[in-house]
């Protein structure tokens, strides 16, 4: 790490708990159908949970939260392109040529 | 670790560059950015194919075991935690702890590949191949490329572990542990998205 205060080992275990818990929540929602939620809504929720897990790993395990801001821009560049690609992909569902 | 080694580690951490970030670390982040685009291409192809087929999407038809996939996801999450604990130990100059956590990471990564190998074996024994249908083409392409990245990460981690063997080698290459960790976390993030796509959204 090049900047900021290093997180403690305890925080890393707490993040592990969140990662495992969110992963299990996604599995339960998808497989056990415990709540009356439409399948498309479940897909959105599970993708949202995956995004939260990825953000936790990037912010705490990859130290983006405490590292230099320049690295956040390096990460943001491909994420913007990913967002653009997804917009193009899903817009094809809305626009019929 | 001796005071001299600790001082060298600290001087690596404070390496002066134009960006304020060590060149190797910046290089690793730029490499990971290119890897994001690589997997975006593969996942984008999966989304296009799936949306194009609509109700005709074959899915895994019960041939993927969600429990096994969940177990493998948990294994990879645990390995991400063990490698960040190795880095935390390195910052405290606790080399034996670095060795333990790195070894745990390598074993967990290997366990992931072994489980994936059993899954592949079960598919092949049921004559399920990449050519079976579009779902299995996507499954083998996405998980195959991911598994290759896991293998690369295991080799990288093994190289860093080997560098802890002697104090002089560790002093010269301690910085690589952070690069190995960044790469390993990226591999974990990719699986975080592949698991629900392939196993849960049937």
The ipTM value here is 0.86
The model's pLDDT over A36-93, given as tens digits with 9 standing for 90+, comes to: 888 889 999 999 999 999 999 999 999 998 888 888 888 888 889 888 888 888 887 6
DSSP string, chain A: --SSPPPPHHHHHHHHHHHHHHHHHHHHHHHT--S---HHHHHHHHHHHHHHHHHHIIIIIS-TTTS-HHHHHHHHHHHHHHHHHHHHHHHHHH---
Residues A86 and A39 in one domain: no
Residues A54 and A80 in one domain: no
Torsion angle, CA of A24/A29/A33/A37, rounded to 10 degrees?
170
B192: closest CA of chain A, how far (Å): 6
The model's pLDDT over B50-70, given as tens digits with 9 standing for 90+, comes to: 888 888 888 888 788 999 999
- For residues B171 and B1, give the distance between their C-alpha atoms in angstroms, rounded to a whole number: 9
Q: Which of B11, B14, B25, B40 to mutate to test the interface with A (most CBs of A within 10 A)?
A: B40
Residues A32 and A77 in one domain: no
Check residue A89 and give its pLDDT: 80
User: Which of 136-155 (B) contact A at CB < 8 A?
Assistant: none
Residues A62 and A87 in one domain: no
The model's pLDDT over B179-196, given as tens digits with 9 standing for 90+, comes to: 999 999 999 999 999 999
Domain B3-200 annotated CATH 1.10.10.60: no
Structure tokens at B123: 């598919």
Check residue B144 and give its pLDDT: 97
- Calculate mean pLDDT across residues B144-152: 97
* Structural domain containing residue A89: 68-97
Residues A49 and A78 in one domain: no
Q: Which of A33, A45, A62 to mutate to test the interface with B (most CBs of B within 10 A)?
A: A62
Domain limits, chain B: 3-200
Q: Residue B90, Cβ neighbours under 10 Å: how many?
A: 24
List of residues 6+ apart from B81 with CB closer than 8 A: A12, A13, A15, A16, A19, A61
Chain pair A-B, CB pairs under 8 angstroms: 116
Give residue for tokens 């998808």: A30
The model's pLDDT over A24-33, given as tens digits with 9 standing for 90+, comes to: 999 999 988 8
- For residues B197 and B191, give the distance between their C-alpha atoms in angstroms, rounded to a whole number: 10
Q: Residue B114, Cβ neighbours under 10 Å: how many?
A: 12
Check residue B138 and give its pLDDT: 95
Cβ within 8 Å, pair A54-B44: no
- Number of domains making up chain A: 2
Residues A84 and A43 in one domain: no
DSSP string, B64-87: S-HHHHHHHHHHHHHHHHHHHHHH
Check residue A6 and give its pLDDT: 60
B126: closest CA of chain A, how far (Å): 24
- For residues A23 and A57, give the distance between their C-alpha atoms in angstroms, rounded to a whole number: 13
Query: Measured between beta carbons, which residues in chain A are less than 8 angstroms from residue B20?
Result: 2-3, 68, 70
Check residue A77 and give its pLDDT: 87
Residues A33 and A73 in one domain: no
- Calculate mean pLDDT across residues B8-15: 50
Residue B20 DSSP code: S
Closest listed residue to residue A77, CA positions, set B81, B126, B40, B133 = B40
pTM of the entire predicted model: 0.88
Cβ within 8 Å, pair A70-B40: no
Cβ within 8 Å, pair A81-B37: yes
Residues A14 and A44 in one domain: yes
């Amino acid at each position: 790490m090049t900047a900021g205060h290093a997180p403690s080992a305890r925080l890393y275990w707490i993040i592990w708990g969140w990662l495992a818990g969110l992963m299990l929540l996604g599995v339960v929602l998808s497989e056990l159908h415990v709540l009356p939620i439409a399948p498309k809504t479940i897909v959105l929720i599970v993708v949202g949970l995956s995004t939260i897990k990825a953000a936790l790993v990037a912010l705490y395990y990859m130290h983006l939260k405490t590292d230099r801001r320049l690295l956040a821009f390096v990460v943001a560049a491909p994420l913007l392109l990913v967002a653009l690609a997804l917009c193009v992909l899903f817009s094809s569902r809305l626009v019929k040529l | 670790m001796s005071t001299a080694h600790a001082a060298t580690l600290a001087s690596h951490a404070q390496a002066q560059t134009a960006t304020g970030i060590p060149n190797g670390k910046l290089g690793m982040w730029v490499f990971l950015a290119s890897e994001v685009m690589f997997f975006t291409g593969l996942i984008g192809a999966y989304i296009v194919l799936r949306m194009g087929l609509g109700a005709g999407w074959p899915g895994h038809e019960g041939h993927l075991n969600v429990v096994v996939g969940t177990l493998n996801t948990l294994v990879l999450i645990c390995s991400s935690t063990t490698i960040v604990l190795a880095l935390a130990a390195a910052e405290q100059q606790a080399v034996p702890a670095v060795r333990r956590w790195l070894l745990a990471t390598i074993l967990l990564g290997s366990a992931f590949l072994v489980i994936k190998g059993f899954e592949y074996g079960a598919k092949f024994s049921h004559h399920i191949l990449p050519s079976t249908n579009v779902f299995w083409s996507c499954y083998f392409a996405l998980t195959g490329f991911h598994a290759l990245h896991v293998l690369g990460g295991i080799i990288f981690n093994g190289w860093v572990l080997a560098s802890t063997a002697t104090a002089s080698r560790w002093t010269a290459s301690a910085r690589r542990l952070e690069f190995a960790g960044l790469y390993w976390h990226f591999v974990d993030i990719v699986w975080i998205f592949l698991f629900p796509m392939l196993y849960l959204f049937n």
